[in-house]
Amino acid sequence: MSTARVLTLIAAFAAFATSSAAQTPVTDGETASMPRTKTGSDVQPVMDQAIFAHVLFNEFEGRWNGSNSEFRWDGQGWVGTDYDRLWIKSEGTLQGNGTLEDGQQQFLYDRAITTYFDLQGGLRSDIDSRPTRNWAAFGIQGLAPYFFDLEVTGFVSGEGHLAAKLEASYDLLITQRLILQPQLELNVYSKADPARLVGAGFSDIDTGLRLRYEFNRKFAPYLGVVYEGRFGQTANFARQAGESTGDFRFVFGIRAWF
Amino acid sequence: MIARLYRPFVMSLVLLSPIACASSEPTSAEQNAAVPLGVDLGGSGPVLASAQPQAPAEAMLVSAQAAAPQHSGEMQMAHAGQNDAHGTGTVNSVDPTQHKINLSHQPIPEIGWPAMTMEFPVAPSIDLKGIKPGTRVNFTIEQGQGGMYEIKAIAPAGGGR
Amino acid sequence: MKAFAPPLALTRRRFMQGAVAAGALSFAPRSLRTALAAPAPVLSGTEFQLEIGAVPVTINGRQTTATGVNGQVPAPILRWREGDTLTLAVTNRLSEPSSIHWHGVRTPSAMDGVPGLSFSGIAPGETFVYHFPVHQSGTYWYHSHSMFQEQTGLYGAIVIEPKGGYAQAFDRDYVVLLSDWSFEPPERIVSNLKFQSDYYNYGQRTLGTFLDDAQRKGLADTVADRLEWGKMRMSPTDILDVSGATYTYLINGHGPGANWTALFRPGERVRLRFINGSSMSIFDVRIDGLPMTVVQADGNDVAPVTVDEFRISVAETYDVLVRPTADRAYTISAQAEDRTGYARGTLAPRPSMAAAIPPMDPRPMRTMADMGMGSMQQGSMPGMSHGPMQGMATDHGSMSAMSSMEASPEAKKLQGSVGVDNLAMVPTERLQSAGEGFPPGRRVLSYVDLRALKPGSDPRPPSHEITLHLTGNMERFIWGFDGKKFSEAGPIELKRGDRVRFVLINDTMMEHPIHLHGLWSELDNGHGEFRPYKHTINVKPGERLSYLVTADEPGRWAFHCHLLYHMETGMFREVHVA
């Protein structure tokens, strides 16, 4: 994918994100749809079971390492009440040659169980240019002490293979609007999957340091550096396929939510 | 950081207000419509020795005519009548020769009157010297023969201007 | 009527000019004005027609649509007389249900205006006729109790003239209705808070404040402090959930630049009826250069107490008397507690005067006492603080708990649940504290300063106690009582004639103005039978307080935090008097 195309994609997304984040007098289905008040005894004095919906793109960026570029997204969306939500997680990396890698999509039911953590369960589908894989997913997501955002998910495939993913990030406020975010994603697999260039054991890491500026809360462009690393068997597969095993890349993207 | 921002914010508002004033009607010395002015609800009137406690909502004796308007200063009264109605208004003009007052008053629900501007004859015993145009007053009117309402009592309210 | 009503000579000619102008105004293009539409006039009498509808308004030059009454925002001042029986026909011209609640006014429960408890609301196009006698006097207010209409402009003042006259004389009388206005729709504000609860907090701790603190207090102390708060996943900069980042603060519907002015003649006594009609904002009110004598709180007479400043929480009212003697203007400023903005008016002998606007006070920070860790640094134990605490009944169960840093057994059950992020281990009795954020040397009103003029009418001691924890989960923006939202809990049952003590323990680090409809809350503040009658009681973070209630009016009464977005996300209960 050319740099120009990546930038166009980001610009288009930015335009969309700004218009959503902009203040308009009418609220649409993006947010609270309070249950309609009914007449008679069904009328409630307060609607504290309201349904809310949000979408967050934590990563929506172009990645350059000097020789080639790729485009990566990592986002989540959910709809539901304080206790019960339907959750979608999506991530993927679009390579310069058009292939889609690391396409993990999760469709989960989320239940709030403690003050800061939710229990999640559902389906993970690896959908990209490589063979599709489906897993059952089970994990927790929430805010750990000292304000670390944490997601830990375990997976079981139809064949009984296991996998796990850890995602963590932290927001360090340099100023009220300039925020430095270290971020980490780690994948582990119990069994190798050569068709997907995935080896057993610790498989890959995607970690980065992103500096964003929040023009408003919902729209924050950022710059940063990331490291895409592969370990062990995964590294071997990568080398065989002519891909790198450890890559530093410069990123530019937009963090947006609505 | 916020503290540093609010000063320019205030300055911009101060700069905006002349623009706001410029678009309003031409003002005379008395009619400064550019600045929103509070509505004066009037003075307290004579103060009693003690105030009422707050009682639970048991049945309380409701006095028949609890309509005493707020007034300060002395109230001039000709006599207390049975057909009294009470109002509040502003004096527009005083006619000492005809012993009449023209005033603009608030609605008088006791007799079902909306806010109006009209002329009232004033009971002969009332001294009009203290009543100046522009004064806010509380007054009592009574319907005499021929259906005309006459001012029976009048006093400045809240110290007017 | 004329757009602005100066208390000056209103000759017939000017009256006609005004009428024509008012008529013309409705067709005039929206000129650049820094205020909302004309200030509310006064409606008096015993029969009222109120029409709720969408009202186009201009705030700080920006046009928007608000929810008003009779075409006005704020709604008209209602002037009633103690002893009258009122009929108020309220017509709803919105496209959604509405309601009006008469805040602080004791009415039969069917007239209280809470959809779901008093009635089913006023449907679009419908007219509901309120009919009730008035057995009290003072300053009150009215507002919608439907959805977020209170945020979009449906609020107004009520002034009830006392039958027996006023306790103190005054020459002029002004309503000062403070409110908050956002151009964001309230549904979006709640949605933003649900995703990111510190969305509106631009006063957070940063690398900059870390370095500042390290320079002042030393690196080790600063790191320890950050770790202490970080472990709890709390921020001491959480003052108000919705701030000046989105709010414009209004005084009688006017922004700070409009210079709303109350006129006086030097030497006159002026009564100012302060009402906090905002949705989420606690104001610190003062008049620079002019002390204020507080004479009424929540509509009820108190022994006059002179202060420089008072903190007025949402839905509270304070009537003050001032006596400006100089021929100059004074600035009335109401700073938001988090210092992100202010409402401002002027007290002046002539229109178009203005005084200097004093700089805002430093932003307060939450302390460990606010987190319910007790006031360790003062070395005082809860309950033993200075102030006239004699005659105060103490809850011995919670007093013994203070010796160890453990929450009470009933509270421990709540720990870790979805609706609770903190428990006050050692809630403090601190009515004598005015709160945080006041510079030293300023006389600030506190609840122990409120002493009723007359003794209470029910001399019985309470027959039982009802303890409620004010709880919340800031991260998820869920609020409730005892860890439960309204939809998860049942009503609080009282029998008619009961004399009960409510004990509130604030397990959260935010103030909550707690309002009980229909019945007076007699605050235990050490004055014994002269405890003040209030309708809204502001409970400070980590505080424990109590008040007495006589359940003398039957019905289903709302009981809730008056921070609108807390109420709508669960901090609400029904108090059922059978």
ipTM of the complex: 0.85
Instruction: Give the distance, in angstroms, between the CA of residue C354 and the centroid of all CA atoms in the same chain.
Output: 27
Classify burial at B96, counting beta carbons within 10 Å of its beta carbon; exposed 0-12, middle 13-18, buried 19 or more.
exposed
What phi and psi values does residue A205 have, to the nearest 5 degrees?
-135, 140
Report the C-alpha gap between C179 and C39 in whole angstroms: 14
Q: What is the pLDDT of residues C120-140, one digit of tens each?
A: 999 999 999 999 999 999 999
Confidence check: pLDDT of A190 > 60: yes
What string of DSSP letters covers A147-177?
Answer: GEEEEEEEEEETTS-EEEEEEEEE-EESSSS
The verdict on a CB contact (< 8 Å) between B2 and C244 is yes
The verdict on a CB contact (< 8 Å) between B35 and C550 is no
**Which of B70, B92, B159 is opposite residue C268, by nearest beta carbon?**
B159
The verdict on a CB contact (< 8 Å) between C187 and A34 is yes
Amino acid C252: pLDDT: 96
Q: Which residues pair with B143 in a beta bridge?
A: B149
Other residues' Cβ atoms within 10 Å of the Cβ of residue C495:
12
Instruction: Report the first-to-last Cα separation within chain B, whole angstroms.
Output: 46
Please calculate the CA angle C455-C460-C461 and round it to the nearest 5 degrees.
105
Contacts of C9 in chain B (CB under 8 A): 30, 90, 92, 133-134, 161
Q: Of all helices (H) and strands (E), which one includes residue C19? A: helix C12-25
What's the whole-number mean pLDDT along residues C43-54?
Answer: 96
- Contact A202/A232 with Cβ under 8 angstroms? yes
Q: What is the pLDDT of residues C463-482, one digit of tens each?
A: 999 999 999 999 999 999 99
What's the whole-number mean pLDDT along residues C94-103?
Answer: 98
Whole-number Cα distances in Å, C488 to C402, C419, C505: 30, 11, 19
Amino acid B77: pLDDT: 46
Confidence of residue C375 (pLDDT cuts 50, 70, 90): low
Amino acid C379: pLDDT: 35
Query: Of the given ranges (A128-132, C231-235, C406-410), which has the lowest mean pLDDT?
Result: C406-410
- Contact C533/C124 with Cβ under 8 angstroms? no
Amino acid B112: pLDDT: 72
Amino acid A6: pLDDT: 56
Identify which of C16, C37, C41 has the alpha carbon closest to the alpha carbon of residue C28: C37
Closest chain C C-alpha to A94 CA, distance in angstroms? 29
The verdict on a CB contact (< 8 Å) between B54 and C457 is yes
What phi and psi values does residue C212 have, to the nearest 5 degrees?
-60, -50
Confidence check: pLDDT of B97 > 90: no
What string of DSSP letters covers C432-485?
Answer: T---S---TT--B--GGG--BSS--S--PPPSEEEEEEEEEETTTTEEEETTB-
What is the percent of chain C with per-residue pLDDT over 90, rounded to a whole number?
Answer: 82
Query: Of the given ranges (A39-53, C242-256, C425-439, C452-466), which has the lowest mean pLDDT?
Result: A39-53
Taking one residue from B and the other from C, the number of pairs with CB-CB distance under 8 angstroms is: 247
Classify burial at A72, counting beta carbons within 10 Å of its beta carbon; exposed 0-12, middle 13-18, buried 19 or more.
buried
Contacts of B45 in chain C (CB under 8 A): 165-166, 169
> Percentages helix, strand, coil for chain A, rounded to the nearest 5?
15, 55, 30
Q: What is the pLDDT of residues C177-209, one digit of tens each?
A: 999 999 999 999 999 999 999 999 999 999 999
Confidence of residue B72 (pLDDT cuts 50, 70, 90): very low
What's the whole-number mean pLDDT along residues C406-421?
Answer: 79
Amino acid A253: pLDDT: 97
The verdict on a CB contact (< 8 Å) between B62 and C133 is yes
Amino acid C69: pLDDT: 96
Length of chain A: 258
Q: Of all helices (H) and strands (E), which one includes residue A56? A: strand A52-64
Closest chain B C-alpha to C402 CA, distance in angstroms? 37
Amino acid B10: pLDDT: 56
- Whether residue C266 lies within 8 A of chain B, CB to CB, comes out as no
Q: What is the pLDDT of residues C266-312, one digit of tens each?
A: 999 999 999 999 999 999 999 999 999 999 999 999 999 999 999 99
Confidence check: pLDDT of C151 > 90: yes
- Contact B123/B152 with Cβ under 8 angstroms? yes
User: Can you give B20-69 as a three-state secondary structure string?
Assistant: HHHCCCCCCCCCCCCCCECCCCCCCCCCCCCCCCCCCCCCCCCCCCCCCC
Confidence of residue A244 (pLDDT cuts 50, 70, 90): confident
Mean pLDDT over each residue of chain B, to the nearest integer: 66
Contacts of B63 in chain C (CB under 8 A): 83, 163
What's the whole-number mean pLDDT along residues C214-234?
Answer: 93
Please calculate the CA angle C129-C132-C134 and round it to the nearest 5 degrees.
140
- Whether residue C542 lies within 8 A of chain B, CB to CB, comes out as no
Nearest chain C residue to B110 by CA: give it: C45
The verdict on a CB contact (< 8 Å) between C352 and B57 is no
Q: Could you tell me which residues of chain A have a Cβ less than 8 Å from any Cβ in chain C?
A: 23, 25-27, 30-32, 34, 37, 39-41, 43-50, 52, 54, 56, 82-83, 112-116, 143, 145-147, 172-177, 217, 257
Confidence of residue C413 (pLDDT cuts 50, 70, 90): confident
Q: Of all helices (H) and strands (E), which one includes residue C56? A: strand C47-59
HSE on the CB side for C176, CA within 13 Å? Answer: 33
Closest chain B C-alpha to C471 CA, distance in angstroms? 30
The verdict on a CB contact (< 8 Å) between C165 and B47 is yes
Nearest chain A residue to C414 by CA: give it: A115
Residue type, C515: H
Higher pLDDT, B106 or C485: C485
The verdict on a CB contact (< 8 Å) between B51 and C357 is no
Whole-number Cα distances in Å, A220 to A210, A212, C116, C207: 11, 6, 42, 19
Other residues' Cβ atoms within 10 Å of the Cβ of residue C74:
29
Nearest chain A residue to C118 by CA: give it: A45
Contacts of A79 in chain C (CB under 8 A): none
Confidence check: pLDDT of B31 > 50: no
Please calculate the CA angle C332-C338-C343 and round it to the nearest 5 degrees.
25
What's the whole-number mean pLDDT along residues A217-245?
Answer: 93
Residue C348's contacts (CB-CB under 8 Å, 6 or more residues apart) are C261, C262, C263, C264, C328, C329, C330, C354, C355
What string of DSSP letters covers C125-188?
Answer: T-EEEEEEE----EEEEEE--STTTTTTT-EEEEEEE-TT--SS--SEEEEEEEEEEESS-HHH
For chain B, what is the radius of gyration of the CA atoms? 22
Instruction: Give the distance, in angstroms, between the CA of residue B94 and the centroid of all CA atoms in the same chain.
Output: 17
Contacts of B133 in chain C (CB under 8 A): 9, 11
Classify burial at A119, counting beta carbons within 10 Å of its beta carbon; exposed 0-12, middle 13-18, buried 19 or more.
middle
Amino acid B47: pLDDT: 82
Amino acid C16: pLDDT: 40
Higher pLDDT, B7 or C243: C243
The verdict on a CB contact (< 8 Å) between A116 and C233 is yes
Contacts of A171 in chain C (CB under 8 A): none
What's the whole-number mean pLDDT along residues A107-135?
Answer: 95
Nearest chain C residue to A78 by CA: give it: C195
- Contact C304/C321 with Cβ under 8 angstroms? yes
Query: Of the given ranges (A76-80, A230-234, B102-106, C409-413), which has the lowest mean pLDDT?
Result: C409-413
Query: Of the given ranges (A81-85, A172-176, A213-217, B125-129), which has the lowest mean pLDDT?
Result: B125-129
Amino acid B21: pLDDT: 46
- Contact C329/C355 with Cβ under 8 angstroms? yes
**Which of B16, B40, B62 is opposite residue C173, by nearest beta carbon?**
B40
Classify burial at C384, counting beta carbons within 10 Å of its beta carbon; exposed 0-12, middle 13-18, buried 19 or more.
exposed
What's the whole-number mean pLDDT along residues C414-430?
Answer: 89
Amino acid B83: pLDDT: 59
Residue A29 structure tokens = 């289905």
- Contact B133/B92 with Cβ under 8 angstroms? yes
Mean pLDDT over each residue of chain A, to the nearest integer: 87
Confidence check: pLDDT of C404 > 90: no
HSE on the CB side for A247, CA within 13 Å? Answer: 21
Report the C-alpha gap between C354 and B125 in whole angstroms: 45
Confidence check: pLDDT of A11 > 80: no
Phi-psi label, residue A233: left if phi above 0, alpha if psi -120 to 50, beta otherwise:
alpha
Contacts of A75 in chain C (CB under 8 A): none
Closest chain C C-alpha to B14 CA, distance in angstroms? 6
Contacts of B51 in chain C (CB under 8 A): 162, 164-167, 301, 453-454
The verdict on a CB contact (< 8 Å) between B54 and C136 is yes
The verdict on a CB contact (< 8 Å) between C259 and B160 is no
Nearest chain A residue to C474 by CA: give it: A115
What's the whole-number mean pLDDT along residues C340-353?
Answer: 96
Chains that touch B (3 or more CB pairs under 8 A): C
What's the whole-number mean pLDDT along residues A205-234?
Answer: 96
Closest chain C C-alpha to A167 CA, distance in angstroms? 19
Report the C-alpha gap between B58 and B42 in whole angstroms: 30
Contacts of C562 in chain A (CB under 8 A): none
* b/e per residue C245-274 (b: at least 16 CB within 10 A): bbbbbbbbbbbbbbbbbbbbeeebbbbbbb
Report the C-alpha gap between B43 and B136 in whole angstroms: 11
- Contact C543/C496 with Cβ under 8 angstroms? no
In the block, tokens 């065989």 appear at: A240
Pairing of strands C544-550, C499-506: antiparallel
Amino acid A9: pLDDT: 60
**Which of B23, B62, B158 is opposite residue C31, by nearest beta carbon?**
B23
Chains that touch A (3 or more CB pairs under 8 A): C
Report the C-alpha gap between C331 and C160 in whole angstroms: 27
Confidence of residue C170 (pLDDT cuts 50, 70, 90): very high
Which of B5, B7, B27, B44 is the best substitution to test chain C (most C C-beta atoms within 10 A)? B44
Q: Is B94 helix (H, G, I), strand (E, B) or coil?
A: strand
DSSP C1: -
Identify which of C351, C293, C237, C300 has the alpha carbon closest to the alpha carbon of residue C520: C300
Amino acid C167: pLDDT: 92
**Which of A56, A113, A175 is opposite residue C208, by nearest beta carbon?**
A175
Other residues' Cβ atoms within 10 Å of the Cβ of residue B8:
9
The verdict on a CB contact (< 8 Å) between C487 and A30 is no
Classify burial at B68, counting beta carbons within 10 Å of its beta carbon; exposed 0-12, middle 13-18, buried 19 or more.
middle
Report the C-alpha gap between A230 and A247 in whole angstroms: 9
Amino acid C407: pLDDT: 59
The verdict on a CB contact (< 8 Å) between C568 and A174 is no
- Whether residue C459 lies within 8 A of chain B, CB to CB, comes out as no
In the block, tokens 């900069």 appear at: C237
What's the whole-number mean pLDDT along residues C478-495?
Answer: 96
What's the whole-number mean pLDDT along residues C3-15?
Answer: 37
Residue B24's contacts (CB-CB under 8 Å, 6 or more residues apart) are B33, B34, C31
* pTM of the shown model: 0.78
The verdict on a CB contact (< 8 Å) between A48 and C570 is yes
Mean pLDDT over each residue of chain C, to the nearest integer: 88
Closest chain C C-alpha to B145 CA, distance in angstroms? 27
Report the C-alpha gap between B128 and C354 in whole angstroms: 37
- Contact C322/C292 with Cβ under 8 angstroms? yes
What's the whole-number mean pLDDT along residues C500-510?
Answer: 96
Report the C-alpha gap between A186 and A167 in whole angstroms: 7
Contacts of C351 in chain B (CB under 8 A): 32, 35, 37
Confidence of residue A54 (pLDDT cuts 50, 70, 90): very high
Confidence of residue A64 (pLDDT cuts 50, 70, 90): very high
Confidence check: pLDDT of C378 > 50: no
